[in-house]
Amino acid sequence: MSANEIPDELWRRILEVGVKSSSFSYKDLCCISISSRRLRRLSSDDSLWDLLLFHDFPTPTISASSSQLPTKFIYRTRFERDKERKLAAHRRALLRKESEISEWRRRIRELEARLTEEAERLQSASREFSDLHKARQASVALNVWQPEVVRGRQRQLVEQNAVPVEGRLRALEMEIKLCKQQIMGVNRALKEVKQRYDIAVKELESMKYHPLRDYKSISSGDQGSNSKTKKMKTSINYSGDQVSNGKRKKLKTSIICKFLNISNFSSCSSVAEKYYSYCPNIINKYVPENLLVLQSMTQCNAEEFYADMDCLKV
């Protein structure tokens, strides 16, 4: 029993059971409607679309003006509105995620600037600590050993420091420790922020991913590369055929061309010279200089050539 032999009542019952059991969606009804005119008429029944409308868009009231319209049209209108609403929500989500990524990027720049500042502070404190340590060693050498050779230089180093050396050294030690702790904390925070930034970027890429659009872009690129390779292969084959045809000049070939140079066909040059002496007026009138019209010549002989050229006399 074929599908055409099934009565309309049975088809209608099948569609109704499929819609009630949620086995058929609006996509299934649309696919069924394009299969044949009969199924299009049956799948457009208002009772089926009423069930889908109640299931997909449960609304309490329907206006009187909309109740007069076909249910399929009402479903399509609400579906388009719902689609626009979802697209708007998706765009808002994209904007929020892009704003979040911008905030993480700004936070990364701030932490990097702070890290650079702490590193410079640590470097300056270490340099000052080294200088004070040298001055302390110089003062100890001046008070204990008092050598006559180094006394002048050491006295200059000690006199340059107005603040007591011991207190300043302890302060610099504390500052160096604090800078190192700050650098460790900034590095830890920077690592965490970069991880969150990478996660946000991946989430944005997944939100922007569209399988059909990406597939079309990839397939179009593949088609472009394939067309280029096909053109290159065709040009190579054509040039190879030209070389092989040049080696087989004496063979009889089928030529369909228009306004070709006579010098390219040495086998027809003698025929052209004979016909030029036969009717030079036609050659000068209808054929350009050094050009010859050849139409569907199966054999390059004088009789067929003359027969083709006689058509120009009319």
Closest CA to 187 of 135, 115, 118, 120: 115
Indicate if the pLDDT at residue 188 is higher than 70: yes
Give the chain's radius of gyration (CA, Å): 46
Higher pLDDT: 119 or 299? It is 119
DSSP 8-state symbol, 292 = E
Taking each helix axis as running N to C, give the angle between helix 46-56 and helix 8-20, from 0 to 180 degrees, rounded to the nearest 10: 0
Q: Provide the token pair at 63.
A: 């206006």
Mean residue pLDDT of the chain comes to 71
Q: Provide the token pair at 55.
A: 């299931």
Distances (CA, A) of 259 to 88, 291, 295, 308: 63, 6, 10, 14
**pLDDT tens figures, 77-101:** 889 999 999 999 999 999 999 999 9
Three-class SS string for 171-194? HHHHHHHHHHHHHHHHHHHHHHHH
CATH code of the region 3-82: 1.20.1280
**pLDDT tens figures, 56-69:** 888 655 555 556 78
Neighbours of 125 (CB within 10 A): 19
Q: How far, in whole angstroms, is CA 272 from its chain's centroid?
A: 59
Run of H or E including 217: helix 211-247
Instruction: Give the pLDDT of residue 210.
Output: 77
| 262 close to 292: Cβ distance less than 8 angstroms | yes
Closest CA to 117 of 164, 183, 161: 183
**pLDDT tens figures, 120-164:** 999 998 988 888 777 777 666 555 555 554 556 656 665 565 556
Indicate if the pLDDT at residue 273 is higher than 60: no
Instruction: Give the pLDDT of residue 99.
Output: 95
* Domain ranges for the chain: 3-82, 93-214, 260-313
Residue the block writes with tokens 């009319």: 314
What is d(CA 34, CA 29) in angstroms, rounded to the nearest whole number?
A: 9
**pLDDT tens figures, 200-258:** 999 999 988 877 765 555 555 555 555 555 555 444 444 444 444 554 444 343 333 33
| 186 close to 72: Cβ distance less than 8 angstroms | no
Indicate if the pLDDT at residue 269 is higher than 60: no
**pLDDT tens figures, 14-23:** 888 888 888 8
Instruction: Give the pLDDT of residue 66.
Output: 59
Instruction: Give the pLDDT of residue 84.
Output: 93
Indicate if the pLDDT at residue 274 is higher than 50: no
| 107 close to 193: Cβ distance less than 8 angstroms | yes
pLDDT bracket for residue 290 (50, 70, 90): very low
What is d(CA 265, CA 193) in angstroms, rounded to the nearest whole number?
A: 77
